[in-house]
């Protein structure tokens, strides 16, 4: 159903003006940014599709302008509006963390990662990029699904840190089995990435394995120097 065919109280923009933005669902807020749909796809359906394909609002928020432009029927105007909205959200989130040493201890990092990824049913691999005071710049999800650690390329890992102008990064991945115990491959990968980081002058502060039954910090295990 097109937005114009909805009752006025159910149209995203009118609902926002009448009841405030907090009354809207994630899809409705995205629809307000998009304004119109594409040929054959009403704007609310388009917004829901974006969220489903991205895996939720948190992951959609990690989309950059080039990723938005690759979506069918999305031109420069729509992509620019959505990218600007997402960037405003990221900047506000960073400012709210200015006085918080959010990621200066493995316990805080583990808690942060567990909120979004502890219950994943597939292995997810990513990085957290940090500024010089160990404050979070951005969370990156680099891969989903089974993958041999030998296939993890340092170039892909450090690309996110270079783009974010990061001082350091934390590597993380999930164990869908529920057991966060590291394997020999996990240890070898950590050491390989730490060496690459030294060459690039981007410190790898930790590698966390997150699962339903907790997390393990390879820095705490002595694989990385304190």
Q: What is the DSSP string of 28-85?
A: HHHHHHH-S-BTTB-HHHHHHHHHHHHTSHHHHTT--HHHHHTSTT--HHHHHHHHHH
H or E, element range at 217: strand 214-217
Q: Which fold has domain 3-96?
A: DNA polymerase; domain 1 (1.10.150)
pLDDT at 1: 55
Tokens of residue 176, six digits: 């869908």
Q: Cα 33 to the chain's mean position, in Å?
A: 20
pLDDT tens-digit series, residues 37-65 = 888 888 888 888 888 888 888 778 777 78
pLDDT tens-digit series, residues 154-173 = 888 999 899 899 999 999 99
pLDDT at 90: 73
Q: Is 149 exposed, middle or buried (0-12, 13-18, 19+ CB in 10 A)?
A: middle
Residue 146 CB-half CA count within 13 A: 1
pLDDT at 101: 43
Q: Where are the domains of the chain?
A: 3-96, 106-217
pLDDT along the chain (226 residues), means of 10: 65 86 89 85 87 82 81 85 84 60 78 83 90 87 72 85 92 91 92 93 94 91 83
- 106-217 CATH pick, 3.10.310.40, 3.40.50.150, 3.40.140.10, 3.30.2290.10: 3.40.140.10
Same fold, 3-96 and 106-217: no
């Amino acid at each position: 159903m097109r937005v114009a065919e909805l009752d006025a109280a159910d149209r995203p923009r009118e609902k926002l003006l009448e009841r405030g933005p907090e009354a809207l669902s994630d899809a409705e807020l995205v629809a307000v940014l998009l304004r119109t749909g594409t040929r054959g796809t009403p704007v609310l359906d388009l917004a829901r599709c974006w969220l489903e394909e991205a895996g939720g609002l948190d992951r959609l928020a990690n989309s950059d302008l080039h990723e938005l432009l690759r979506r069918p029927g999305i031109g420069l105007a729509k992509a620019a509006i959505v990218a600007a909205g997402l960037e405003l959200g990221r900047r506000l989130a960073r400012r709210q963390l200015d006085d918080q040493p959010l990621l200066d201890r493995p316990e805080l990092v583990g808690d942060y990662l567990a909120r979004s990824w502890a219950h994943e049913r597939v292995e997810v691999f990513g990085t957290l990029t940090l500024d010089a005071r160990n404050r979070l710049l951005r969370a990156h999800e680099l891969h989903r699904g089974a993958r041999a650690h030998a296939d993890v390329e340092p170039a892909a890992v450090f690309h996110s840190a270079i783009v974010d102008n990061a001082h350091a990064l934390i590597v993380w991945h999930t164990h869908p089995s529920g057991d966060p115990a590291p394997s020999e491959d996990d240890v070898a990968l950590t050491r390989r990435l730490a060496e690459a980081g030294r060459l690039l002058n981007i410190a790898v502060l930790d590698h966390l394995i997150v699962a339903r039954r907790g997390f393990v910090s390879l820095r705490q295990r002595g694989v990385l120097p304190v």
